[in-house]
Structure 1
Amino acid sequence: MTFAFYLGAGNIIFPPLAGFLAGENMTLAMFGFLVTAVGLPLITILAVAKAGNGWAGMTKLLPAGIATALAVAIYIIIGPAFAAPRTGLVAYEMGLKPFLGEMGAQGLMVYTIIFFGVAILVSLNQGRLMDAIGKFLTPLLMLLLIVLAVGVFVAPQGTMPSAVADYQQDAFVKGILEGYNTMDTLASLMLGALIVDILRKKGIHDYQSQFKYLAIAGIISAIGLSVVYISLFQLGNTAGGVAMDASNGGAIVSAYVLSLFGHPGQFILAGIITLACFTTAVGLISACADFFHNLTGMSYRKLVVILGAACALVANVGLAQLISLSIPVLVAIYPVAVALVLVTFLKSYFGRPRLTFRLVLTVAFVFGCLDGLGAAGMKMDAFAFLPLFDKGLAWLLPTLVACGLGVMARGNASQVSDATA
């Protein structure tokens, strides 16, 4: 189940594109991608389990307004701003476009209205339909991915492209930043509490057992995701001459499947990806509507309609444009998520946990915003002196220093206590 939470159609479009663009530096890019697309979500799930009581447990040392604002930002990002609209676009790119070709802005608009219109109807009337689809969808998607992985390694269809842009010099760091696009670390912050609730329903109530079983499930899902990502990286890295349109990973996978399995394979891929996108869209719209219903008191049904309409509207910017718009936002917000996970694990080592939590997250947010502005293409030469700024990781060292100060505060407090005694 944990693996199914993470495996969405969006996770399938980024590795092949990175593998294609990384060329001869694929291995470095892939390891960087695995750090943020597999390692961070796993660690985040464990942090949620360690904190207890889900999001409230992780943020109890923060001002209530800040914790709420951060939760709102994450739900907007994984909801109507980026992740949910992306489901409709991936379904369009991989489920319809390979057969009907480019249909222009009007065709995309009609498709997204129908796609999210149906998603709204299902979200309004949640029942056993989603459970029934889920029971068959994930195994089918996994089966197809396994067959595709075997085909990629046994019968590669193309040649290795040459590394381009940032993949030529900083493939590992570029892979780390590309892993942000899965948004799975942000999702882990919200899904971790849900998984803990499910464990409780299974009769697992004590903290140690919850942590143990969540760790086992997290490790299994991490292994599964790693296998999927590695095979998709290899697919992209052997797609030279096969994928004529390398503007996004969906087009690369579609062209590769057509070359490897012919039209029958492409039809199967299109059907499963469309269903995967649809169930993900329903899940995200429902989760966001439920969150904002509890936050504002507004009717759940009204929120479903508003959020679904917003997703359809945002989706019409196009997949490549939506991804490019999301990158600066993710570069800015991810450091805060990572910092929250870090201080959750280190809390017992801090002399003044409340102050340290606020300091570390503030530092991560400020420097993350600088990285985000740089990723947006703004001229940031005045900050070029910052360590790792040119890599898009200016937040990393200041955040670690802030954590170190928190640990030192405990040491100083102990020395004062000893002297007093």
Structure 2
Amino acid sequence: MDKKHYLFAGFMLFSMFFGAGNLIFPPLLGMEAGAAFIPAVTGFILTAVFLPLLAILAVTLSNNGLLEIGQRVHPLFGLVFAIIIYMSIGAFYGIPRASNVAYELGFVQMFNVEGTLALFTFSVVFFILTYLFSINPKKVVDYVGRILTPALLAVLAVLFIQAFRTFQYNDAPVTDKYEASPFLSGFLEGYFTMDAIAALAFGIVIINGLKSKGAADKKSLVQGTLTAGLIASAGLMIVYLSLGWIGRVLPVDQPVTDGAEIIVIASQLLFGSSGSIVFGMIILLACLTTCVGLTSACASFFHETFPKFSYSFFTTVFVGTGFVFTNFGLAVILDIAVPLLVLIYPLAIVLISLSLFQHFFQESRKMYVYSVAVTSVFAVYESLNAVGIQSNELNAGLSYIPLHDNGLGWVLPALIAAAFGYFAEEKREDVEYESKAG
């Protein structure tokens, strides 16, 4: 397989990960971390870059991707969990969220128009483009890798180069959020990019793209995915460091509430009245590439799972559903999606970790069952909290679990459950072997 295809696959993977959410998190981290920028951004990169790379590898190493990973717990769990993943990051959340951000931070910034009719008109054009780029899965890598990603990188490069030439590095205060533990705070900030979940969906797009270019066997697919993943990871690291640095050195006196506002201010300071156009182009390209990747990933999965319906049929369904949800507005989408995302993210991390673990050690079904069962209890609890159903007594009791206050109370119990399940199954197999030998 030609090495240039690895490069284009890497560009595509980068652009699918780099959506609007990824664009606005690093600048705010840089501004809030201040003098603690280095440890904070290091933690951020671990969860925003390294964890999604592991997820892509886990999908590639599994014969049937995300579906097989979940089926190691139970066949029904595998199917239901995969459908929830694809629907949550696809038509019900990821696609309409990206298109709404493209409208609010891109289209409105560039043309200074807003309202219901403006959103409707924008979404019509946006989703026509998404459909045209997504309709042929074999061409997705070419479209995104050859056209959209280079355009996105070119606009970002203009912003970064001008920022490095203009802004000066000075002392900056550390906010309370990053003062006690900047590394852990940055680590958790990267966690909420939710790219690890998206990676479970994007894996199938990269695999299909590599297959269409001649990667037929497992070794070639793993090599191609790893190469593309490393290219994407390198690109993301450079962009995150640059965006974080802009937030770190931006000379502002007024309070800033989010990363989008930081980039708007930086664009205006660097390019004057044309700054809104530069920022708007970055947002529009980032969101379009993300929507193309998500649409293709979701359509590919559902076509392979339900082959009676064509890829083009599912592409139309996801584009149409995304269009409808987009016109509900971003606030409504976030209110509906947050409890679901809080529920599935811990489960996704556990499954990714165990899937990689089993390729180095003996496979254990109990390891999956026990750890996922324990994680599910914590995930359901956090999901209920997200919708306002809480118990002060239970909260007080769980507060003794390490990292619970950070929303990561499931980590240690899941690890203990996985270890218990692994050794329990290993002991049972030893007993069965000795019984047969006797």
TM-score scaled to structure 1, two decimals? 0.83
Are residues 365 and 99 of structure 1, via their aligned partners in 2, closer, same or farther at CA, if it must alter by over 3 Å?
Answer: same
Instruction: Find the counterpart in structure 2 of residue 393 from structure 1.
Output: 408
Assess if the C-alpha contact under 8 Å between 1:351 and 1:408 holds in 2. Answer: no
Q: Are 2:268 and 1:258 aligned?
A: yes
The question of 1:368 aligning with 2:379 is answered yes
In the other structure, the counterpart of 1:76 is: 87
Q: Structure 2 vs 1, CA of residues 130 and 107 (structure 1 numbering), >3 Å: closer, same or farther?
A: farther
Contact 1:350–1:356 (CA<8 Å) still a contact in 2? no
Of 145, 163, 186, the residue aligned with 1:152 is: 163
- Is the 2:339–2:384 contact (alpha carbons within 8 Å) kept by the matching residues of 1? yes
Tell me if 1:347 matches 2:358: yes
Structure 2 residue identity aligned to 1:6:
F
Kindly indicate whether residue 229 of structure 2 is the aligned counterpart of residue 207 of structure 1.
Answer: no
| Cα gap change, 1:212 to 1:286, in 2 (>3 Å) | closer
Between 396-405 and 98-107, the greater mean CA deviation after superposition: 98-107
Letter of the 1:33 counterpart: F
Change (3 A) 1:394 1:123: same
Q: Secondary structure in 2 aligned to 1:96?
A: helix
In the other structure, the counterpart of 1:402 is 417
Change in CA separation of 1:347 and 1:374 when aligned onto 2, cut-off 3 Å = same
Kindly report the root-mean-square deviation, in angstroms, between the aligned alpha carbons of the 2 structures: 3.6
Which string of whole-angstrom CA distances, capped at 9 and with x for unpartnered residues, describes residues 344-389 of structure 1?
1222677771222122222222223334444566545313232211
**Within 5 A, what are the aligned runs for 1:59-208?**
59-101=70-112, 103-104=114-115, 107-116=118-127, 119-120=130-131, 131-132=142-143, 134-156=145-167, 163-164=174-175, 166-208=177-219
Letter in 1 for 2:422: V
| Aligned residues of 2:69 and 2:78 also touching (Cα < 8 A) | no
Compute the displacement of 1:233 (Å): 1.1
Write the distance in 1 (CA, Å) between the matches of 2:90 and 2:74: 24
Q: Please tell me the residue identity of whatever aligns with 1:271.
A: M
How many residue pairs match? The answer is 420
Query: 1:295-340, CA deviations, whole angstroms, 9 ceiling, x for partnerless residues?
Result: 4556766655553343244335655775576555433322111111
How far does residue 395 in structure 1 lie from its aligned partner after superposition?
1.0
Shift of residue 261, structure 1, vs aligned partner = 2.7
What's 2:14 paired with? 6
Give the structure-2-normalised TM-score.
0.81
Aligned partner letter, 2:409: A
Distance 2:11 2:112 in 1: 33
Kindly provide the CA deviation profile for residues 100-155 of structure 1, in whole angstroms up to 9, marking residues without a partner as x.
44735554454335433554566568896994565232122223323433333442
Residue aligning to 1:277: 287
1:75–1:288: 8 Å Cα contact kept in structure 2? yes
Q: Provide the secondary structure at the position in 1 that maps to 2:91.
A: helix
Consecutive unaligned residues in structure 1, runs of 5 or more: none
Q: Are the structure 2 counterparts of residues 129 and 386 from structure 1 closer, same or farther at C-alpha, using a change threshold of 3 Å?
A: closer
Q: Give the CA deviation at 1:415.
A: 5.8
CA distance in 1 between partners of 2:224 and 2:94 (Å): 28
| In 2, Cα distance between equivalents of 1:418 and 1:229 | 55
C-alpha distance after superposition, 1:20-71 (max 9, x if no partner): 3434443333222212110101111222233334234433423222111111
1:249 paired with 2:259, answer yes
Between stretches 394-403 and 94-103, larger displacement belongs to 94-103
1:287 aligned partner, one-letter code: A
**CA distance 1:88–1:56, change in 2 (3 Å):** closer
Give how far 1:204 is off: 3.8
| CA pair 293-223 structure 1, distance change in 2 beyond 3 A | closer
Greater shift, 122-131 or 90-99, is seen at 122-131
- Distance in 1 (alpha carbons) for counterparts of 2:100 and 2:418: 40
Q: Distance in 1 between matches of 2:176 and 2:111?
A: 32
Q: Does 1:231 find its partner at 2:242?
A: yes
| Deviation at residue 286 of structure 1 after TM alignment | 4.1
Per-residue displacement from partner, 1:259-310 (whole Å, max 9, x unpaired)?
A: 1133445434433532442343244234334444554556766655553343
User: How far off is 1:229 after superposition?
Assistant: 0.7
Output the CA distance in 1 between the equivalents of 2:144 and 2:58: 31
Unaligned residue ranges in structure 2 (runs of 5+): 1-8
> 2-side partners of 1:192 and 1:246: how far apart?
36
